[in-house]
Amino acid sequence: MSSDTTGVTRRGVLVGGGVCAAAAAVPVAEVQAVTPQRASATMKVGLTVNGTKRELDLDPRTTLLDALREHLHLNGTKKGCDHGQCGACTVIVDGRRINSCLTLAVMHEGDQVTTIEGLGQPGKLHPMQAAFVKHDGYQCGYCTPGQICSAVAVLEEIRAGIPSHATADLDARPRATNDEMRERMSGNLCRCGAYSNILDAMSEVAGRRA
């Protein structure tokens, strides 16, 4: 048979079309039968959450936030932006506050995790929770769990002498001033704008009046 300058012949076109048609005729079930299936990989993760040891079998891509909410059903910790920008998912891990949406659960093997449920319960509130109620430190309440966890950790940071961007003298121990607390809480956003009330609550727990 003749061919043009590209080297493509009529026979080649016909043969190629027949191969494609035959492949299309193969039942999907037969293709699946010879295709190796990837097993779902999970990992064992041991955490102590609110004083209780928990063992989880998780996809290694699971964030700490999703492990708490979807696997342990601790829904007090909120999913806001899911990008570490709003602070609604703040929890306390080994005494330090973190955005649980930005960290994987498998990274916290053996860690102590405290959520808003672990700080206090109705009838036995944490002092910060009681102060938020007294000073109306919340409105819609969505950001409140993260705000309270962050506020508790902020006062511990100040007591431990950890400086912030608002600390004027890095050689002196920081104090729970308005500027210090505002700076340290700047990563927790409240769309309702209850910032001044949150500051009043923190000031009371810190042992001074704003």
d(Cα 184, Cα 28) in Å, to the nearest integer?
58
Q: 126 and 74 share a domain?
A: no
Per-residue confidence (pLDDT) for residue 171, from 0 to 100: 86
Query: Residue 81 sits in which domain range?
Result: 40-119
Residues 89, 128 within the same domain: no
**Which domain CATH number covers 200?**
1.10.150.120
Q: Same domain for 126 and 210? A: yes
The 10 Å Cβ neighbour count of residue 10 is 10
For residue 23, tell me if it sits in a domain: no
Q: Summarize pLDDT for 1-22 with one digit per residue, the tens.
A: 554 555 667 666 555 565 555 5
Is residue 59 situated within a structural domain?
A: yes
Last residue of a domain, one of 97, 119, 141: 119
Residue 205 has pLDDT above 90, yes or no: yes
Q: What is the dihedral sign for C-alpha 113, 178, 201, 176?
A: positive
Which residue is associated with the tokens 């973190």?
98
In a domain, 173, yes or no: yes
In this structure, what DSSP letter does residue 83 have? Answer: S
Q: What CATH number does the domain containing 62 carry? A: 3.10.20.30
Whole-angstrom distance, CA of residue 180 vs CA of residue 165: 8
Number of alpha helices (DSSP H) and beta strands (DSSP E) in the chain: 8, 5
β partners of residue 96: 93
pTM of the model: 0.79
- The pLDDT tens digits for 132-143 are 999 999 999 999
Total structural domains within the chain: 2
